[in-house]
């Protein structure tokens, strides 16, 4: 049985999920770092431990319904509770409606939409039993604004936003809070691999262009997203549910 708050962070092996895991560990929480790649999850765990925190790595494909349920049930059995779920695992996709083949749409749906459903459904019963819990979903500016060439990705992040509202509504009387955060461009391996794949000869130039898309003139940092999620998972945020938090350098409201 764990006396610390037990928090699951999906996609915790890289980028934003890595920073969220470190931030939650700094709030004395026990972190279960879930990722497709056990190796990268373990790297995050090692860093948390080197900073004096407690964590463990779990390999899981969140798009697998049955496996997600079994894995999260095992976590609840082992630790006696699940206090926090951060649904952060996600994949990108570039292309307009016409440039998005069916298998690409299905792949993005399976990870970004069904992954959130799988993980949230697998924890909510445990949280109901406790009559407490926090779920934070990783949305995006693409949840609410038209972004060029991001048809499948926008479809998935719009669903993340509305699943957030739905979960918040249905479980408000069970002591469960559910919110989402909606970053603009954040400098992570996600961005680096996008640039290397799509603009191999203009990486620096395109990095600059992407930075300037945010009115504030730069990309966000994973650490900044981690700090917001840490707050939303804390007891200080106990009056906040059913809300979406843009963290976007002014992208949505002051872009012109």
Ligand X SMILES: NC(=O)c1ccc[n+]([C@@H]2O[C@H](COP(=O)([O-])OP(=O)(O)OC[C@H]3O[C@@H](n4cnc5c(N)ncnc54)[C@H](O)[C@@H]3O)[C@@H](O)[C@H]2O)c1
Catalytic residues: 153
Q: Determine, following the binding rule CB under 6 A, whether residue 13 of this chain makes contact with ligand X.
A: yes
Interface with ligand X, residue 36, by CB under 6 A:
yes
Q: How far is the CB of 2 from ligand X (least distance, A)?
A: 22
Cβ neighbours of 139 (radius 10 Å): 29
Size, binding site for ligand X by CB under 6 A? 30
10 contributes a contact to ligand X by CB under 6 A? yes
Q: Which position among 90, 226, 246, 249 is part of the footprint of ligand X (CB under 6 A)?
A: 90
Query: Which letter does DSSP use for residue 141 in this model?
Result: G
Name residues whose C-beta falls within 8 Å of residue 31's C-beta, 6 or more positions apart in sequence.
Answer: 7, 8, 9, 12, 21, 24, 25, 44, 45, 48, 53, 54, 55, 56
CB nearer to ligand X: give 113 or 176.
Answer: 113
- Distance between CA 25 and CA 233 in Å, rounded? 12
- Which window, 13-21, 45-53, 124-132, 161-169, contacts ligand X (CB under 6 A)? 13-21
Instruction: Determine if 123 is a binding residue for ligand X (CB under 6 A).
Output: no
62 touches ligand X by CB under 6 A: yes
* By CB under 6 A, residue 188 contacts ligand X: yes
Token pair listed for 214: 């945010």
- Site of tokens 């940092």: 221
E strands, the chain, are 6-10, 30-35, 54-59, 84-87, 133-138, 176-183, 244-247
Return residues touching ligand X (CB under 6 A): 10-11, 13-17, 35-37, 40, 60-63, 88-91, 111, 115, 138, 140, 183, 185-186, 188-191
């Amino acid at each position: 049985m764990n006396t610390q708050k037990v928090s699951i962070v999906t996609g915790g092996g890289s980028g934003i999920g890595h920073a969220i895991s470190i931030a939650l560990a700094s709030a004395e929480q026990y972190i279960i770092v879930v990722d497709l790649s056990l190796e990268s999850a373990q790297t995050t765990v090692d860093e948390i431990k080197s900073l004096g925190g407690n964590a463990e790595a779990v390999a899981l494909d969140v798009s697998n319904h049955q496996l997600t349920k079994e894995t999260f049930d095992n976590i609840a059995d082992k630790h006696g509770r699940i206090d926090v779920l951060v649904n952060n695992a996600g994949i990108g996709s570039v292309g307009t409606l016409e440039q998005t083949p069916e298998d690409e749409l299905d792949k993005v749906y399976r990870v970004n939409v069904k992954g959130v459903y799988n993980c949230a459904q697998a924890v909510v019963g445990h949280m109901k039993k406790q009559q407490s819990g926090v779920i934070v979903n990783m949305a995006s500016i693409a949840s609410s604004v038209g972004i060029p060439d991001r048809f499948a990705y926008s479809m998935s992040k719009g669903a993340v936003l509305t699943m957030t509202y739905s979960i918040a509504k249905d479980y408000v009387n069970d002591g469960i809070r559910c919110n989402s955060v909606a970053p603009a461009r954040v400098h992570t391996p996600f961005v680096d691999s996008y640039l290397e794949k799509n603009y191999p000869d203009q990486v620096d130039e395109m990095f600059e262009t992407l930075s300037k898309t945010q009115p504030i003139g730069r990309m966000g940092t994973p650490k900044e997203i981690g700090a917001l999620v840490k707050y939303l998972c804390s007891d200080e945020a106990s009056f906040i549910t059913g809300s979406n938090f843009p963290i976007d350098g002014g992208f949505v409201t002051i872009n012109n």
